[in-house]
Amino acid sequence: MIDSVSFVNKMAGLIISENSTAEELEPIALAIYGTIGLPITMRSKNHNGVRVENSKVVDYNYTGEYLEQALSTGKIVHGLAGSGPYKGMPVIVSPINNRNSETIAAMGTVNLSGYIDLKRF
């Protein structure tokens, strides 16, 4: 039988949990930014997260109203940011669920360029 601790220590990769820190979420947020080129926000259920702009993390203690809403409802949220650095801009936030369908994190993007389809907004 494989010891689960040694198995996890031998695994290469990233694991997201409800306790992931901003630093642990950073590589994922940077990768998503790299693919779409729009600001990315991401946080876990129990820790504030990251805000990425211009291919770098600009905040390691970030949360926002729609990240919080996606975490609490477990649903995709579309809206206009009411405060903060993206005030008045359209945002889309999606929950991240574990295998048990529990929401453990949320990731959002800001529609600075109009590339995101906001018909559902």
**For residue 26, is pLDDT > 80?**
yes
Measure the CA–CA gap between 50 and 68, rounded to whole angstroms. 14
Tokens describing residue 116: 């995101």
pLDDT at 1: 43
Interval 76-88 mean pLDDT: 90
| pLDDT 10s digits, 91-116 | 999 999 999 999 999 999 998 765 55
Q: Does the CA dihedral 107-33-39-89 come out positive or negative?
A: negative
Is the pLDDT confidence value at 119 over 60? no
- The b/e string for 78-115 (b: 16+ C-beta within 10 A; e otherwise) is eeebeeeebeeebbbbbbbeeeeeebbbbbbbbbeeee
* Helix, coil or strand: residue 28: helix
Amino acid type, 104? I
How far is residue 91 from each of residues 17, 60, 76, measured CA to CA in Å? 23, 19, 11
Rounded to an integer, the average pLDDT of 33-59 is 96
SS3 65: helix
Q: What is the DSSP letter of 13?
A: S
